[in-house]
Amino acid sequence: MQFFFYNDDIERCVKGTRRKWVMSRPKVPEIWSVKNGTNLTHNEILALENAGFRLPQREVISPRRLFQDHPLPVDLSSYATPAFPDEVPKRRHGKNVRRNKKSPSIKQANNCASAGAYKGRIRKVDMVPVPALGCIVTLDSGTPSTIQQYHLTISQFPDCSCPYFKEMLTKAKGGHSQWAHCKHLYFVFTVICGFDADVDAFIHAPTLSFNEVKLVLESRLLTHPTS
């Protein structure tokens, strides 16, 4: 009746002022289960583990398995539309970004022209996990004897793993260069999806709205044959 419970010290539960009434120490479970959906922060999880708690390990999901949970074709109408689907993100990598009202610039036009003569082949397309809207395009570049493979992100933040895009991104973030997508992204936008570089000016922007991403995905990208 007078057993005291201390939630931060199991020893005091059985060795407190009434310890003579305790016949045996209760068995402490080796693993403390955490209910699914418990909003533990990363620091709280580390604190529990540092205190000696062993939490059940989550199933390891590789990035490849995570991105392949959505086989093509995908019904984009099932995606939840945000409150402002035409709103364009104003920041990228912590920097303010804006659209050039005079796009395409000379540099952007030149990269578009390079994309027209570019010999590329889409190897596969993987959707990014819900609720995000977008996909990862694996692109083979070059002749069969010297194929290089790049990964393009088609989302609200278009991206490519090629050296040109990385260099351009670094210079643009530092304010030393204008934004201009690489020929690989322009290849997807103009050759695969069929957008006009002069009419569909949004393809030159550093960020896209939800509706613009959806338009790109619906413009033959998700149905384009892969090899």
Tell me: the pLDDT tens digits for 93-117? Answer: 888 998 988 999 999 999 999 999 8
Higher pLDDT, 209 or 23: 209
In this predicted structure, what is the pLDDT of residue 63? 54
Tell me: do 69 and 31 sit in the same domain: no
Does one domain contain both 71 and 162? yes
What average pLDDT does this structure show over 63-91? Answer: 77
- Provide the pLDDT for residue 51: 76
pLDDT digits (tens, 9 = 90+) for 2-57: 555 555 665 656 555 555 555 555 566 666 666 655 677 777 777 777 777 777 66
pLDDT at 160 > cutoff 60 = yes
**Domain shared by 143 and 182, yes or no:** yes
Identify whether residues 190 and 110 lie together within a single domain.
yes
- Residue 35 is assigned to a structural domain of this protein: yes
DSSP letter at 19?
G
Residue 187 domain flag: yes
Contact 152, 217 (CB under 8 A): no
Those residues with Cβ within 8 angstroms of residue 65's Cβ, 6 or more apart along the chain or in another chain: none
Round to whole Å and give the CA distance between 202 and 87: 12
15 plus 67 within the same structural domain: no
Contact partners, residue 5, CB within 8 Å, separation at least 6:
13
Whether residues 38 and 69 fall in one domain: no
105 CB neighbour count, 10 Å cutoff: 14
15 with 37, same domain? yes
pLDDT for the residue numbered 1: 44
Task: Show the domain range for 97.
Answer: 63-221
DSSP assignments along 92-157, one per residue:
ETTEE----TT-S-HHHHHHHHHHHT--EEEEEEEEPPTTS--EEEEEEES-GGG-EEEEEEESSS
User: Does 137 lie in the same domain as 45?
Assistant: no
**Do 184 and 162 contact (CB within 8 A), yes or no?**
yes
Q: What pLDDT is attached to residue 177?
A: 82
Domain count, the chain: 2
Residues 67 and 91 in one domain: yes
